[in-house]
Structure 1
Amino acid sequence: KSIKFTKGDGGVGSIKQTNFSESAYIEYTKHKIDALDVENFYCKYTLINSDIKFDKIDFIVYEW
């Protein structure tokens, strides 16, 4: 539905919120950018908040 930065300008330390449509199972997610290397197409970010119910997961880190 929409994506916006709630903190920062898109660089390291920024927080991005993704809002999903009403028909999705997830309402929103928030990711923090941990590392960014534009020249080498590298981004590492952590899922820090969501309406997903995490019973046994503390955090999720993506690296690509």
Structure 2
Amino acid sequence: MGVVTYELEINSSIPPAKLFKAFVLDSDNLIPKILPQAISSVEILEGDGGPGTVKLITFGEGSQFKSVKHRVDGIDKENFTFSYSIIEGDALTDALESISYEIKISASPDGGSICKNISKYHTKGDAQIPEDKIKSGKEKASGIFKAVEAYLLENPDAYN
């Protein structure tokens, strides 16, 4: 099994605590509400939301995939870090064993945030991941982040 690692960094004018609440802690409710075409529902299959929790993510009608199972690996509300893995589902394709993500939201000098996302694609055998698939994944992740940011800018009293 190989591991292909990609990093994505996005700056935001939203403070870290508020962004973490919306983008991580309440994402199961917020993202299907503001982006139903991307994610139509999130259902907890086991656990309480903390590490070990397994969720079924059902994608919206416009997605090329139907669903994935996602496991919470770690969450630190004080340091604004969150890690999870895609452990099952059609988004893994024939080439992938799993995909793990690490998100860290930190304060930027201007009072906003810097969101760093490290994605690790665990391949089956010596399978290769086409660059366009990685680029597409980064664009989708960035789009979801920007939609959450836009929601927070339009609703300044949310998640205080």
The structure with higher relative contact order (CA 8 Å, sep 6+) is: 2
Give 2:73's aligned residue.
34
Matched, 1:23 2:23: no
Point out the more displaced range, 47-56 or 37-46.
Answer: 47-56
Question: Among residues 53, 58, 63, which one is paired with 2:97 in the alignment?
Answer: 58
The structure 1 residue matched to 2:82, chosen from 43, 46, 51, is 43
Check 1:53–1:18 CA distance in 2 against 1; reply closer, same or farther (3 A cut): closer
Greater helix share, structure number = 2
1:11 counterpart (25, 50, 74): 50
Could you tell me the percent identity over the aligned residues?
36
Work out whether residues 42 and 56 of structure 2, in 8 Å CA contact, stay in contact via their aligned partners in 1: yes
Deviation (angstroms), 1:54: 2.1
Runs of 4+, deviation exceeding 6 Å: none
| TM-score of the two chains, using structure 1 as the length reference | 0.86
TM-score, scaled relative to structure 2: 0.38
After superposition, the C-alpha distances for 1:11-63 in whole angstroms (9 at most, x for unaligned) are: 01001111112332111111101111011111111100112352222111000
> Radius of gyration: which is bigger?
2
- Alpha-carbon RMSD: 1.3
The alignment of Structure 1 onto Structure 2 pairs a total of residues equal to 64
Name the CA distance, whole Å, in 2 between partners of 1:61 and 1:4: 19
Q: Mean Cα displacement is larger for which, 26-35 or 44-53? A: 44-53
- Quick check: which one's strand share is greater? 1
Q: Measure, in 1, the Cα distance between the counterparts of 2:91 and 2:50.
A: 25
